[in-house]
Structures are given as structure tokens and as C-alpha cells.
Amino acid sequence: MQMNRRNALKGLAGGAVGAWAGFRLPLAYADDYAGRFFVFIQADGAWDPTSFCDPKTNTPGEPIINHWAESADVEEAGGIRYAPVAGNAAFFRKYHDRTLVINGVDAQTNSHATGVLHNWSGRNAEGFPSMTALLAVQHSPDKPLAYLNFGGFAATEGVIRFTRLSDADRIHALAYTNQLDNDEILRPDEWSVLQEYRARRAARLNEAPGLLPRQARNRRHYASALSATATEGLKRYADSLPGEDELERDVQYAYDGDNFWNGLKRQSQLTVLAFRTGVAVSADFFLSGFDTHRSNDAKQHWLLRALTESVDYLWEYAETHGVADRLVVVIGSDFGRTNHYNAEDGKDHWPIGSFVVMEKNQSWTNRAVGETDALHFAHKINPTTLRRDDAGGTIIYPKHVHLALRRHLGLENSAFAELFPFPNTEDFRFFG
């Protein structure tokens, strides 16, 4: 115990706060947030929309686009058409009334790096943050863990910090810094002296002359990470987390030499409890493996089922914990896959993809907008009518989706969003 106490004194007195796996805490905790919560799910590697939400059957005289279409036809739930494979039927039959599908989104690239950047920032060049970051800084920058990220694209461009979260035990370690195996490391009088010293040191750092704006901001963040309100928020979150045996485990699938891991259900648990206890407002989920250059159908169908079953779990868990009525879910990928199979029965990169947006009790759901032809080429769409318009319409690009989402989610005129504008961009009325 003597060694533990010595190490704790060195680390805490030296300012090693928030060092656990990149955890960084912004200003102060606020428990009066009454707005929406946001989950963006990145299907990493490029999914196959023609086997999901933009289903395509085979065209005579053209290469086979989908093997499933050799013996089945497109199905429909409400106003949404889907491919009758994987878990699509169960998903869309249950959730069509809270779902908008945006098809025919052109990422303008076959490069994974550019596709990820374009779809999740709205621009195909670096320099724009994720919408998840903008939502966190706009709606509640003072949450202890305002922006959670479980992998994938998480550019912040300095507007806020993200928390890379996977290990629930580390949340407990952050919340209860004077505990080791549920025993206090320092006596109460020692802990009090250390806190007083730390507060004086933080004040001295904040008052140093000639600080650049970034330095001043970082020092305020350091001080706020130690505030009582931030600590109480983390304790509330840590206390809400189930034990390791009650957290969902990653599910593995192996096929044709590739291994896939689905951790979305655990990500759902950790995120919903963060929302419920008031420490976060937005999160990026991550499911990889969609780059199916071999054995496309077996892999895509498993991954799509894993995705839809996990999104179902997210909604059910959110219902259980009372946050489903405030939840917005956005699902997307790098781009799509080719309209034919390659020599290894896989599919290669194709720039046309889709987005799925989910929210309860909305007038704009239960439909699909955007349009592609029988071979999955995008048609031009009229931004106002959302119908095909070869003469006066435009191809849908990720910037159109981002611009419309910004308006719908309350970002359109925010100070930080205005730093990252989409000038000369058509105004698609996806959300009315």
C-alpha cells in the first residue's frame, strides 16, 4: 500500500489527470440537458446497399448483381424496399415507421480513406470535424464525456475532445481516483491536502501571463476535469455500469480466412447509460469488416444481420432506460460495392452508397428518398420534391446529407458549424 500511495501522490500532484486511455474531460458537468441524444454508426469498409436498403435484382444481359435475386424478389415494409436477406425483414418491419433511407449518395471515390472522410465529415478533404463532434459542442460541451467514440472517424478539429471508450473498469478508476480495489489509497486528511495543492496549482497555471488561446483553453479544461460536478457525474455513470459479466461480449464470425467482431451491443450499453446519467450526448459506434473483396454474400449478410440486430438492441436498451424518445441514430458507410461479382465471388469498391436515419414520432420517416437505376448508378434528384429530375436536379453527395442533418439537429446556425460551412450546396429537404 505504501508504494501505491507514493505513486498516487506523484501522479496526482504532477497533474496526471485524465491519463487513462485518452480520457479528457471538458468544462463543467450540467445535469439540466433536455435535448436529443445522437448515435452515428459507422459500417466500416463499405457495405453493400443492394443487399440492404437499395435492393437490386438482376438485369437480363448484364452481369449478376446479386445471387439472392436469382430466387427471390425485393420486399417492402411501409414505404421502404429492402433485400430479403440477412435480418433485413425483421429490422424494417419493426422499424420502418422511424426510418428514413437516403439512397444514391455519391462519395465520389473508391478510396476507403476518402470515403470515410467524405461520408462522416461531409467533405472529401481534411479539415472538417465529424457531425458527432459538432453536436457535442453545440448541445452540451460541458458534459464530462460529451463525445464518445468506439473507433473509426472522430476528427474534432479542436472544437471538443472525444473519449475513446471500451473498458468500463477505467470509468470507475477515473471516478474514484482515491480507490484501489475499493480501498482508499490516501487517508481523508491526505486527500484533502492534495486537492488543495492541486487547486492552487491549477489557478496558478490559469493566471500565467501571455497564454495563447489554445493554452488557456487547455488549462481551463485541466482545471474543470477536477471539479466536483464533473467528478460526481463520472461517479454516477460508473455506479450505473453493470459488472463485466452483465456487459455484452463481442461476437465473432470467421469465414474464408477473415475474422469479424461485433461489439455494437456493448457499445450500446455503455452509451445509453452515459446518456441516462447525464455525462454524454453523442457517440460514434463502429463495426468493421465490410470490405468484402472475397465471398461477398456470406460476409455481408452476416455483417448486415449483426448491424440490424445490434441497432434493434440499441433501441430496446434505450427504451428500457428511458432515452429512446430522445434518440437519433444515423447509419452509413464508406461507399457501396460493385454492381457485379469479381472472380472470387466478392464485390469491389463502388462510389454509390446510402444513409439510414432513425428517430421516433417523426413525419419524415417510413420512406426512402434518392434513386438509383437497375445497375446502381445514381440519378439526379430535385432537392425540393425529392424526385428524379434529370434536367434540373443534382446527384446527392454527402454534403447534402450533412447540411440537411445540421438543420434538423439544431446545428445550422451554430457558431462552430459556421466555421465549417457548405457554401453553394443545394438544400435537400430530407426532413421536411
Ranges assigned E (strand) in 56-206 = 75-77, 80-82, 99-106, 147-149, 163-164, 179-180, 183-184
Q: Are 46 and 349 in contact (CB under 8 A)?
A: yes
CA-wise closest residue to 146 among 156, 157, 135, 130: 135
Q: Does residue 26 sit in helix, strand or coil?
A: coil
**Tens-level pLDDT at each residue, the chain (432 residues):** 444 433 433 333 333 333 223 333 333 334 578 999 999 999 999 999 999 999 999 999 999 999 999 999 999 999 999 999 999 999 999 999 999 999 999 999 999 999 999 999 999 999 999 999 999 999 888 788 889 999 999 999 988 889 988 777 778 777 777 677 667 776 777 667 766 777 787 777 777 888 777 676 666 655 655 566 667 888 899 999 998 889 999 999 999 999 999 999 999 999 999 999 999 999 999 999 999 999 999 999 999 999 999 999 999 999 999 999 999 999 999 999 999 999 999 999 999 999 999 999 999 999 999 999 999 999 999 999 999 999 999 999 999 999 999 999 999 999 999 999 999 999 999 998
Which residues fall within 8 angstroms of residue 209, CB to CB, at 6 or more apart?
none
Kindly give the pairing relationship between strand 352-359 and strand 99-106.
antiparallel
Q: What single-letter DSSP state applies at residue 249?
A: P
Q: Specify which residues 204 forms β-bridges with.
A: none
Alpha-helix residue ranges (DSSP H) falling in 241-368: 264-276, 296-320
CA-wise closest residue to 168 among 70, 242, 58, 64: 242
